[in-house]
Amino acid sequence: MAGRCSSRSMTLDMRPMPDPTGDPVPRPGGRQDLRADCDRCVGLCCVAPVFAASADFAIDKPAGQPCPHLNAKFRCGIHNSLRERGFPGCAVFDCFGAGQHVTQLTFGGADWRASPAIATSMFTVFMVLRQLKELLWYVAEALTLLPTGPLRDELVLAGDTIAWLTDAGPDELAVVDVIPHRQHVGALLARVSQAMRAEIGLPGPNHTNADLVGADLRGANLRGAVLRGACLLGADLRGADLSKADLLGADLRATDVRATELDRALFLTQPQLDAARGDALTTIPAALARPPHWPSPSTPTDPAINRPRRRRR
C-alpha cells in the first residue's frame, strides 16, 4: 500500500449515511438531506475535486476537469468496479447530500455542461457546501447522544447557523469561510465526546493524531479512547474494544475491523466504514450502512476471529 496518512480535505478541525429517523438539526428533511442522491446531481464529485495518482486514485486529475469515466448521464461508467480499477478513493467518497443540494437548490437544476459559464462557480460551491453538510451530519449525530441541556442547545444553534448558510446563493456560498465553523463544531464535539466517554469511568488512552500505521491492536482495550485524526492505515483492530472510542477524522483505510464491535464508537462516518475491511461479524452504528464489499453473512469468515462477544456494561 503506497503512502502514509496525509491531511485529508473536508474533515473537522484536525489533520487528519445517515439515519432519516434520528434526531437531526430541527429543519425539514432531517438527515435524509445528508444522504447522497446521485440521480439528482450532475456528477460534481467526479469533476470538482483533485485526483492525485496514488493508492486511492489510478490517475491524476486537476480540479474542475471531468474524470474520463464520467458518462453523458453524469454517472460513473466504472461504478461497479471502482476498487478493481484503482479508484477506492471514489468508492468511499460521500458528499453528504451536497451534490443534489448544489444542483437542484443552489443552481435551480442547471448543469455545468449545458451552461459552461456557471461551471467554475458550481464546482467551488460544491466544495464549500460538502464541508458544511459534513458538519451538519456530525451535529445531527451528536444530538442523538445528548439529553436536554446547555450543550445540546449549543449544538442546535451551531447546526441552525450552518444550515442557514447552506441556503445562501452561489456568490455568498463561494466565499464562506468554513474554518471558524469547523473549529466551533469541533470544540462542541470534543465536549460531547468527553461527556460520553466519562460514562464508562476512567478515560481511555489518548491517540489523537497518532501514527498507528499497520499497528497490531488485536484485542486492545480502547474503551473511551481518543483516536481523533489517528492514522490507522492497515492497522489490525480485530477484537479491539472500541466502546465510546472517539473516531472523529481517524483514517481507517484498509483497517482490519473484522468481528470488531463498532456500533458504540463515537463519530464514525460512512466513508470511514467503507474504507475499512470488515465482515458479517462487525457491528456498526444503526445510522450507517454495511459496506457492500464486505463479506456477506453467508460468506465463510476467518475462524481465528470468531470469538465470543463481550458483555456490555
Q: What are phi and psi of 70, to 5 degrees?
A: -75, 125
> pLDDT-based confidence at 33, cuts 50/70/90?
confident
Which residues lie below 8 Å from residue 186, measured CB to CB, with a gap of 6+? 12, 13, 14
Residue 90 to residue 75: CA distance in whole angstroms: 12
Q: Which of 249, 182, 258 has its CA nearest to residue 219?
A: 258
pLDDT over 50 (residue 219): yes
Share of the chain above pLDDT 90, in %: 76
pLDDT for residue 237:
96
Average pLDDT over residues 93-108: 96
Residue 214 to residue 182: CA distance in whole angstroms: 29
Q: Report the C-alpha dihedral over residues 151, 156, 158, 163, rounded to 10 degrees.
A: 170
| b/e 194-224 (16+ beta carbons within 10 angstroms → b) | eebbeeeeeebeebbbbebbebebeebebbb
More confident residue, 203 or 282: 282
pLDDT over 80 (residue 14): no
CB-based contact 262:244 (threshold 8 Å) = no
pTM of the complete model? 0.85
Q: At what angle do helices 150-166 and 179-198 cross, to 10 degrees?
A: 150
pLDDT for residue 302:
54
pLDDT in tens, 108-149: 999 999 999 999 999 999 999 999 999 999 999 999 999 999
pLDDT over 60 (residue 28): no
pLDDT for residue 100:
96
Q: Report the C-alpha dihedral over residues 275, 138, 52, 229, rounded to 10 degrees.
A: -70
Share of the chain above pLDDT 70, in %: 84
Which uninterrupted H or E stretch holds 243? Answer: none
CA 94 to chain centre: 6
pLDDT over 50 (residue 104): yes
Domain boundaries, the chain: 30-198, 203-286
Q: What's the mean pLDDT when you consider all of the chain? A: 86
pLDDT for residue 6:
52
More confident residue, 200 or 16: 200
CATH classification for the domain delimited by 203-286, as one of 3.30.70.1450, 2.60.120.650, 2.40.110.20, 2.160.20.80: 2.160.20.80
pLDDT over 50 (residue 21): no
pLDDT in tens, 222-273: 999 999 999 999 999 998 999 999 999 999 999 999 999 899 999 999 999 9
CB-based contact 234:215 (threshold 8 Å) = no
Residue 51 to residue 60: CA distance in whole angstroms: 5
